[in-house]
Amino acid sequence: MQNIIGLKEFRAEVPKIINKAAKGESFIVIKRSKPVLRVTGVEDEDWETIIDFTKIKKGGVDIKDIIKRL
Protein backbone atom coordinates (compact mmCIF):
# COMPACT_ATOMS: atom_id res chain seq x y z
CA MET A 1 0.00 0.00 0.00
CA GLN A 2 1.30 3.43 -0.89
CA ASN A 3 0.82 6.31 1.48
CA ILE A 4 0.31 9.79 0.03
CA ILE A 5 1.96 12.60 1.96
CA GLY A 6 2.65 16.25 1.34
CA LEU A 7 6.15 17.61 0.82
CA LYS A 8 5.97 19.61 4.06
CA GLU A 9 5.10 16.48 6.05
CA PHE A 10 7.84 14.53 4.27
CA ARG A 11 10.47 17.11 5.23
CA ALA A 12 9.30 17.17 8.83
CA GLU A 13 9.21 13.37 9.17
CA VAL A 14 12.13 12.13 7.03
CA PRO A 15 13.69 9.82 9.67
CA LYS A 16 10.30 8.27 10.50
CA ILE A 17 9.46 7.79 6.80
CA ILE A 18 12.85 6.20 6.11
CA ASN A 19 12.29 3.68 8.89
CA LYS A 20 8.84 2.82 7.56
CA ALA A 21 10.16 2.49 3.99
CA ALA A 22 12.88 0.14 5.22
CA LYS A 23 10.12 -2.03 6.69
CA GLY A 24 8.30 -2.27 3.36
CA GLU A 25 5.97 0.73 3.22
CA SER A 26 6.10 3.09 0.27
CA PHE A 27 5.16 6.73 -0.06
CA ILE A 28 4.15 9.11 -2.82
CA VAL A 29 5.17 12.68 -1.98
CA ILE A 30 3.05 15.42 -3.48
CA LYS A 31 3.80 19.08 -4.02
CA ARG A 32 0.97 21.42 -4.99
CA SER A 33 -1.33 18.45 -5.57
CA LYS A 34 1.07 16.74 -8.00
CA PRO A 35 3.22 13.69 -7.27
CA VAL A 36 6.93 14.58 -7.25
CA LEU A 37 8.65 11.48 -5.88
CA ARG A 38 8.18 7.96 -4.63
CA VAL A 39 9.95 6.70 -1.51
CA THR A 40 10.41 2.96 -1.16
CA GLY A 41 12.82 0.72 0.65
CA VAL A 42 15.57 -1.16 -1.11
CA GLU A 43 14.60 -4.75 -1.53
CA ASP A 44 17.04 -7.45 -0.53
CA GLU A 45 19.75 -7.20 -3.10
CA ASP A 46 23.22 -8.59 -3.08
CA TRP A 47 25.36 -5.68 -1.97
CA GLU A 48 29.09 -6.14 -1.92
CA THR A 49 31.25 -4.05 0.38
CA ILE A 50 34.32 -2.93 -1.50
CA ILE A 51 35.97 -1.06 1.37
CA ASP A 52 34.78 0.02 4.80
CA PHE A 53 36.50 3.26 5.69
CA THR A 54 35.25 3.05 9.28
CA LYS A 55 37.71 0.18 9.78
CA ILE A 56 40.58 2.49 8.82
CA LYS A 57 39.56 5.32 11.12
CA LYS A 58 36.68 5.51 13.61
CA GLY A 59 33.98 7.70 12.09
CA GLY A 60 35.29 7.19 8.57
CA VAL A 61 37.84 8.98 6.43
CA ASP A 62 37.55 12.53 5.10
CA ILE A 63 36.83 12.55 1.37
CA LYS A 64 39.49 15.24 0.85
CA ASP A 65 42.15 12.84 2.17
CA ILE A 66 40.98 10.12 -0.21
CA ILE A 67 41.01 12.44 -3.23
CA LYS A 68 44.48 13.71 -2.32
CA ARG A 69 45.86 10.18 -2.43
CA LEU A 70 44.33 9.36 -5.81
Q: Would you say residue 55 lies in a domain?
A: no
- Return d(Cα 58, Cα 69) in angstroms, integer: 19
Residue 53's pLDDT is 74
Question: Does residue 61 lie in a domain region?
Answer: no
Tell me the mean pLDDT per 10 residues along the chain, length 70: 90 94 93 94 77 75 83
Total domains present in the chain: 1
pLDDT score, position 28: 96
Report which of 22, 25, 5, 24 is spatially closest to residue 13, judged by C-alpha positions: 5
Query: Is position 13 within any domain?
Result: yes
Which CATH number fits the domain that encloses residue 32? 3.40.1620.10
Query: In the prediction, which pLDDT does 44 show?
Result: 65
pTM listed for this prediction? 0.60
